[in-house]
Structure formats: C-alpha cells, structure tokens
C-alpha cells in the first residue's frame, strides 16, 4: 500500500476538502471525459447528493462545482478570476472551459440539490451530465468525494477504493504492525521508510521541493490567519479570533504573571488561524482534510517556535511520519467526516501531529506508534455537526484542542518505551466500526448535535 505525502497533504482551498475541493476535482475530471468523447457536447448539468446536498451551500459545494465546470482546479485557484467567472456564468448561463465549446449551464436550474437517500457508494455523491442540442443527456458519470480531496468514480469505488497500481515501493506497510516490523527489520525510522517509498515513486528532488512548498503554504496560512480580523462569511456572524489572541499573547510576553498552561493558547492560536482562513475560503493544505487542516501545522509551528533545538531541517521527517500514519488511517478506516464523523478528521489529524512530533523529538518507531494511538483513541466517537453546514462551529476551536491533544499524546508516549496495551491498528479499526455504527445525522449532514441545538443566525 502506498499513499504519498502529497496525497495526505494537498494544497487547495477552503472551506472543505470533501465538499469544496472534491466537487471541483470531480468537475475537472468530467471535463476531461467530455474532451475525450467522440461527439460534441452542448451543455452540462449535475446533482449533489447526501452530505454534499445537506451541507453543500455552507461548504460552497455548488460554487466549487460551477467553478470546476468552468475549468478551475484547487491547485491553481485564483479568487479574483473565480469571482469574475461566476459573475459571467450568472449573466450568460454558459461555461467556457478550455478545449471545449461554450456549454449551456444555468446554475439555478442545472445544478440540483437532491435531499433524498444517499447514493450507494458514499455519503458524498454527485452526478454530472453532458447534454446535446436538445438537452438530452449523452454522457454521465457518478463521482464520490471520499475525504481529503480524494475523488473516485462509481466504477473505481466498486473496483476497490484502496487499489494501488503504481510501481512497487520498498516498504509497502498496510498496517501499523507491518510498519513496526519493517522498521525493526530494516533498522530505519518511519520517516526513512516513507522517504524511500516516496523516492521510488517520485524521486528525491520532487520530494524535497514538494515538502518545502507544503510547509510554506501551511506557515503562510498561519501568518495570514494571525493578522486578519473581521467576520467569517456564511451568515453565522462568527468573528475571527486568532488576531486578537495573538495580539494579547504578544502583549503579555515578558511579564512574570504567565501561567504555564498559556502555551496551550499558542497551540490553539496557530490551529485556529488556519481554520479561520479555511472558513473564509483561503488557501490551505489538507492535513488530512480541510476541516482538520489546522492541527498538523499548529503542532509544527509550536515545535519550531517553542521547543528548544527544533529545526526546519527536520520538517520533512515530521511530515513524512505524519503522512505515514494518515495513510494507515485512510487505508484501513476513513478520513471523511461524512463517512465516520469528526473522529475521522480531527482525530486522524491529531494522530498524525502526535506521530510527527514524537519523531522529531527523537522517538522510536514504537513510541511514535504509541503517540498516534493515544491521540486517536481520545477522539473516538467524535461527531461531525457543523452549525449551518459551515466549517466554523465547532470546527475552528476543535482544531485547537486537537493540536493540544497531539502534543500531550507525543509527550506521554515519549515518557514510556513504546510498550502499550491498545495497538494503533485496533484503535483505527475501532474508529472504523464506530463510524459505521454512527447515526447519519452526526456525520456532516448538520441534522444533529450542535447543528440543531445552536441557533443558526
């Protein structure tokens, strides 16, 4: 099994990897399908199903689908160009993606929210269609946004969502047990094994430059979030808090009245800064999802800014280790809030952050596995219940607490020798089972939990 560090950490846009990035990616794939067709298409239409319908407006799923059909992709997204394109589409009722003729598309009529039963493959389903001059459907595809910006067609999902058809890698661990066994046999760290796998697929240069770019985007996102104030979009009137917290913390520096627990405020600050940017539709890195995008960057930033001896030279090891853990969770369970609740998002992110921190603090593979298990175990059962379908309440603060738990988990694990009762594999399987048993209203539908007990205005 191989999931690249660049699968777990994707550069994209907010507010949701499943509900914003996923639909945009699916639309781009459908355009490619239209370009490859041996007939001429004259229009496009689509429908959003399951969680994409229930929280689609709050997550900008409709906006992302429209822009995707116009040719936009997350990696090169430009906000000003997107706004101009949306205005033109509203006026002309057409989209003009590169390599295709002008296509009829009226967003109000041609993109439907279907609030009926989920499509069979996943809670995040969408159907895209191309039409002829008469408006009859001549091409159709069903897509599923399965978390973290990953998109699969109906056929791909049926064939096996975790199929890996790439070149062989030297350390193809599919479980934490296999990972630890390979580490012991090879004498390599988790980061070294992951690096060897990445080199086998993409080469050393692309790994180094790619990881550098990932951290740059993460750090830039933190800095923007800490220096921007105002009200977040969406109608909840949630005020950005990161800038105010940062200003207060800086003002309190150098006094003799600082309590030791104030370090938690710094960790929460870094995470909340990212997730406020995400909620505003800014550029973020999935880690492993947008809804959990603040946890891993916050732990890295905490380590660099507050832990003696920390060095940016070790960021690659941090992110490689974190990606190894995230890959195990995705392969054996889920990173999708619509599939397994927020335990799959912030819980997975906290496990990744704990593992990465334990690695750069000198932890053994066993201690790193223990750190990830502690962090994930104490997120089990967490529901996904965004108020008004927006990635704001409780998501922003939840990332801060996920970062704090990650640091605590790494610290606890490093106090032991790696021996512990509950294996990470058992914890991941428990998370999968819990997600399967969880009521749909607690899985990113905004039909339960805080979403129905907090006023939406």
Number of domains in the chain: 2
Do 154 and 211 share a domain, yes or no? no
Mean pLDDT of 341-358: 98
User: 153 and 221 share a domain?
Assistant: no
pLDDT band at 165 (very low <50, low <70, confident <90, very high): low
Domain span at residue 132 reads: 16-160
pTM for this predicted structure? 0.92
Rounded alpha-carbon distances, angstroms, from residue 64 to 107, 137, 414 = 12, 22, 43
Residue 75 has what pLDDT? 87
Q: What percent of the chain has pLDDT over 90?
A: 91
Q: Is the predicted pLDDT of residue 74 greater than 80, yes or no? A: yes
Domain identity same for 107 and 218: no
pLDDT tens sequence across 224-274: 999 999 999 999 999 999 999 999 999 998 777 788 999 999 999 999 999
Residue at a domain's end among 114, 130, 160: 160
Do 152 and 70 lie in a common domain? Answer: yes
- pLDDT-derived band at 455 (thresholds 50, 70, 90) equals confident
Domain endpoint, select from 125, 160, 195: 160
Average pLDDT over residues 358-384: 98
CA angle 179, 289, 166 (to 5 degrees): 50
235, 140: one domain: no
Task: Note whether 188 and 108 are same-domain residues.
Answer: no
> Is residue 115 domain-shared with residue 187, that is, in the same domain?
no
Residues 310-326, mean pLDDT to the nearest whole number: 98
Domain assignment of residue 167, yes or no: no
**The CATH number of the domain where 210 resides is what?**
1.10.4100
Residue 2: inside a domain? no
CATH number at residue 146: 3.30.1330.90
In a domain, 171, yes or no: no
Same domain (yes/no): 404, 374: yes
Q: Using one digit for the tens of pLDDT, what is the confidence trace for 399-450?
A: 999 999 999 999 999 999 999 999 999 999 999 999 999 999 999 999 999 9
Same domain, 185 and 326: yes
Burial class (CB in 10 A: 0-12, 13-18, 19+), 15: buried
Over 60: is that where the pLDDT of 125 sits?
yes
Q: Measuring CA to CA, which residue among 334, 289, 338 is closest to residue 440?
A: 338
Beta-sheet strands, E only, within 69-193: 94-95, 103-104, 111-114, 124-131, 137-147, 150-153
Give residue 29's pLDDT.
Answer: 98
What confidence score (pLDDT) does residue 1 get? 79
On whether both 131 and 203 belong to a single domain, the answer is no
**125 & 187 share domain:** no
Q: Is the pLDDT of residue 162 over 60?
A: no
Gap between the Cα atoms of 448 and 389, Å rounded:
11
Tell me, yes or no, whether 324 lies in a domain.
yes
Q: Is residue 168 part of a domain?
A: no
Contact 341, 435 (CB under 8 A): yes
User: Per the structure block, which two tokens stand in for 243?
Assistant: 């800038």
Q: Is 76 found in the same domain as 116? A: yes
Task: Identify whether 4 is part of a domain.
Answer: no
Domain boundary among 130, 160, 190: 160
Is residue 118 situated within a structural domain? yes
Q: First CA to last CA across the chain, in angstroms?
A: 46
Q: What pLDDT, on a 0 to 100 scale, did the predictor assign at position 161? A: 52
Is residue 8 situated within a structural domain? Answer: no
């Amino acid at each position: 099994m191989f999931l690249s560090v660049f699968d777990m950490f994707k550069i994209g846009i907010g507010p949701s990897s499943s509900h914003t990035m996923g639909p945009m990616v699916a639309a781009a794939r459908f355009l490619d399908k239209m370009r490859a067709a041996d007939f001429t298409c004259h229009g496009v239409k689509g429908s959003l199903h399951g969680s994409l319908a229930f929280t689609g407006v709050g997550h900008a799923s409709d906006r992302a689908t429209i822009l995707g059909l116009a040719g936009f992709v997350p990696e090169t997204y430009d906000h000003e160009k997107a706004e101009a394109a949306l205005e033109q589409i509203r006026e002309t009722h057409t989209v003009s993606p590169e390599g295709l003729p002008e296509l009829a598309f009226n967003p109000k009529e041609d993109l439907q929210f279907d609030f009926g039963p989920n499509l069979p493959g996943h809670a995040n389903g969408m159907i895209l269609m191309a039409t002829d001059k008469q408006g009859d459907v001549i091409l159709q595809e069903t897509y599923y946004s399965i978390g973290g910006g990953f998109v699969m067609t109906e056929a791909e999902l049926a064939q096996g969502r975790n199929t890996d058809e790439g070149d062989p890698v030297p350390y193809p661990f599919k479980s934490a047990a296999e990972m630890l066994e390979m580490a012991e046999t090879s004498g390599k760290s988790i980061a070294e094994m992951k690096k060897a796998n990445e080199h086998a697929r993409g080469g050393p240069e692309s790994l180094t430059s790619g990881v550098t770019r990932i951290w740059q985007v993460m750090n830039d996102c933190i800095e923007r979030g800490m220096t921007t104030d105002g009200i977040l979009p969406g109608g909840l009137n949630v005020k950005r808090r990161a800038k105010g917290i940062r200003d207060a913390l800086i003002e309190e520096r150098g006094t003799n009245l600082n309590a030791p627990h104030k370090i938690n405020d710094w960790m929460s600050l870094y995470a909340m800064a990212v997730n406020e940017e995400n909620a505003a539709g800014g550029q973020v890195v999935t880690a492993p999802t947008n809804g959990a995008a603040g946890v891993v960057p916050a732990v890295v930033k905490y380590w660099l800014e507050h832990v003696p001896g920390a060095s940016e030279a070790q960021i690659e090891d941090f992110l490689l280790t974190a990606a190894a853990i995230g890959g195990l969770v995705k392969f054996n369970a889920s990173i999708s809030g619509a599939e397994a609740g927020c335990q799959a998002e912030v819980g997975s992110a906290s496990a990744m952050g704990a593992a990465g921190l334990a690695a750069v603090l000198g932890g053994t593979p066993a201690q790193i596995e223990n750190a990830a298990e502690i962090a994930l175990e104490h997120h089990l059962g967490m529901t996904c219940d965004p108020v008004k379908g927006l990635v704001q309440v409780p998501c922003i603060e939840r990332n801060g607490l996920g970062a704090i738990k990650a640091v605590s988990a790494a610290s606890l694990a490093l106090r032991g020798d790696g021996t512990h009762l509950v294996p990470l594999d058992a914890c991941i399987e428990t998370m999968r089972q819990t997600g399967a048993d969880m009521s749909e209203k607690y899985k990113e539908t905004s039909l339960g939990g805080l979403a129905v007990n907090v006023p939406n205005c």
